[in-house]
């Protein structure tokens, strides 16, 4: 096989997949406005990476074999579309799981490696389907009144299994090729049917994806961020989907049910921290620009807030660098980032992001959400007055300041901003999960030894 270009990618989506949005089934994704921008972004990514030749392969299939290669990969993925980033992180998570389960379950580890090669050879895009519906949260999977609340095996056959359930919050599922299903949490004895991990084509019989989106449809100029960067959010229904043996990576072995979630969490949190470091710098830039436009850049409390935002962004990036600097190899020679520094950095970045946006809103003022549209600015009758009264200090044009307000609103205070705020906390698992992993990998014995030494108890 060979790499696909953008046109071939778009054609590959016409494969009979069942996609729903806004109350109707979508037969041709490219003809529906909810998917237009995301399809263009992914197609452009295919074109940007395309190389001719049967042996060509995209950089998103690279497996880092040193700290330097891991850093290079993170630097590169900052320029990729979300689907390509998700593919890279998800397949590296699968390899991480393979490394951790090889001793106990070598056949599954080998299947994962063959699946990685299959995706690479066919230049496919994958998403990770992990979060179950969960039903009544106070009950474990095996005690739910509806056993479908968690994705589970409903039938075992000689040639494979049949699974049923739903997976929620799966970004860009509708515009990808493969769904990598994995357990959402550790399963206990008696919950073997829920310990299932596998790969399913998006067009497999029984798969339906219901989509929503924060993408704007009108006043595009007033949405400079979300109009250019958006993906559909998929609610995946798995209605008795057959999975052949070669695509099964776990089928009842509860010991390794958390292995996949932990592996995915590691790579999602690393990628999330990288993006949040960039977002931190963006927030600082917007805060400084609007303060200068408003003429408030020298006011003490404004300077203090921006300084705090600078420290936030710098510490997030420092945690990211530490995660890479302390990366370690697996027995296969694959390099994985530090669990401790990755989780600590992601936790800090996510937990403090809301405060940083609050600082930006305090600095910018009410016009962040009340400024007239760009179309009003261009109106012959009211446009000149808007330009006059929206101007700031000397030398700051009304349109310049207006566009800054719209950028801040779209990035932090509107549909896209709300999506970002929730995603920052929930991507890679919630804050509690990151605290658990950080504590697990922290050298507590060394800390206790220091305490005993100070107390004279050594």
Instruction: Note the pLDDT tens digit of each residue in 219-257.
Output: 889 999 998 888 999 999 999 999 999 999 999 999 999
Residues 6+ apart with CB under 8 A from 434: 265, 269, 343, 344, 346, 347, 350, 428
User: Residue 308 carries which DSSP code?
Assistant: H
| Alpha carbons 98 and 327: distance in angstroms, whole number | 18
- Report the pLDDT value the prediction gives residue 33, as an integer from 0 to 100: 87
| Alpha carbons 92 and 2: distance in angstroms, whole number | 21
pLDDT at 348 over 70: yes
pTM of the model: 0.91
Tens digit of each residue's pLDDT (9 = 90 or more) over 27-75: 999 888 889 899 999 999 999 999 998 889 999 999 999 999 999 999 9
pLDDT at 278 over 90: yes
Tens digit of each residue's pLDDT (9 = 90 or more) over 290-324: 999 999 999 999 999 999 999 999 999 999 999 99
Tens digit of each residue's pLDDT (9 = 90 or more) over 324-333: 999 999 999 9
- For β-strands 152-157 and 160-171, DSSP reports them as antiparallel
Region 168-176: what's the mean pLDDT?
Answer: 95
**Residue 214: which pLDDT band, with cuts at 50, 70 and 90?**
confident
- Report the pLDDT value the prediction gives residue 219, as an integer from 0 to 100: 86
User: Residue 394 carries which DSSP code?
Assistant: T
- Report the pLDDT value the prediction gives residue 272, as an integer from 0 to 100: 92
User: Residue 232 carries which DSSP code?
Assistant: P
| Alpha carbons 342 and 327: distance in angstroms, whole number | 10
pLDDT at 1 over 70: no
Structural domains of the chain, ranges and CATH numbers in brackets: 258-449 (1.20.140.10)
Tens digit of each residue's pLDDT (9 = 90 or more) over 81-139: 999 999 999 999 999 999 999 999 999 999 999 999 999 999 999 999 999 999 999 99
Averaged pLDDT of the chain: 95
């Amino acid at each position: 096989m060979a790499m696909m270009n953008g046109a071939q990618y778009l054609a590959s989506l016409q494969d009979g997949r069942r996609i729903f949005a806004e109350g109707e089934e979508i037969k041709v994704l490219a003809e529906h406005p909810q998917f237009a921008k995301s399809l263009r972004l992914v197609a452009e990514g295919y074109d940007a990476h395309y190389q001719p030749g049967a042996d060509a392969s995209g950089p998103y299939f690279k497996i880092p074999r040193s700290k330097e290669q891991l850093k290079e990969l993170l630097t590169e993925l900052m320029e990729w579309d979300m689907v390509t980033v998700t593919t890279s992180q998800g397949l590296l998570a699968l390899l991480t799981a393979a490394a951790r389960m090889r001793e106990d379950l070598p056949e599954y580890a080998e299947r994962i490696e063959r699946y990685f090669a299959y995706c690479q050879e066919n230049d496919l895009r994958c998403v990770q389907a992990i979060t179950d519906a969960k039903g009544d949260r106070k009950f474990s999977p095996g005690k739910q009144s509806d056993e479908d609340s968690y994705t589970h095996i409903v039938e075992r056959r000689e040639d494979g299994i049949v699974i049923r359930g739903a997976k929620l919050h799966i970004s860009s599922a509708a515009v990808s090729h493969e769904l990598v299903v994995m357990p959402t949490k550790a399963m206990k004895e008696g919950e073997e049917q829920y310990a299932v991990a596998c790969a399913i084509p998006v067009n497999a019989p029984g798969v339906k994806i219901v989509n929503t989106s924060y993408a704007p449809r009108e006043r595009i100029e007033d949405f400079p961020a979300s109009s250019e960067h958006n993906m559909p959010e998929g609610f995946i229904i798995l209605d008795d989907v057959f999975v052949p043996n070669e695509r099964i990576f776990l089928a009842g072995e509860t010991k390794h049910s958390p292995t996949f979630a932990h592996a995915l969490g590691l790579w999602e949190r690393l990628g999330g921290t990288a993006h949040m470091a960039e977002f931190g710098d963006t927030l600082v830039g917007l805060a400084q620009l609007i303060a200068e436009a408003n003429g408030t850049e020298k006011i003490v409390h404004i300077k203090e807030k921006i300084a705090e935002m600078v420290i936030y962004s710098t510490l997030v990036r420092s945690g990211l660098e530490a995660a890479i600097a302390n990366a370690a190899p697996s027995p296969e020679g694959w390099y994985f980032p530090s669990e401790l520094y990755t989780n600590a950095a992601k936790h800090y970045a996510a937990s403090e992001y809301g405060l940083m946006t609050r600082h930006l809103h305090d600095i910018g003022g009410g016009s962040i959400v009340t400024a007239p549209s760009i179309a009003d600015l261009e109106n012959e009758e009211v446009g000149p007055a808007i330009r006059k009264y929206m101007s700031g200090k000397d030398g700051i044009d009304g349109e310049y300041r207006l566009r800054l307000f719209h950028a801040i609103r779209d990035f932090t205070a509107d549909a896209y901003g709300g999506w970002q705020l929730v995603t920052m906390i929930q991507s890679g698992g919630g804050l509690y999960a990151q605290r658990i992993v950080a504590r697990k990998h922290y050298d507590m014995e060394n800390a206790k030894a220091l305490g005993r030494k100070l107390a004279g108890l050594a």
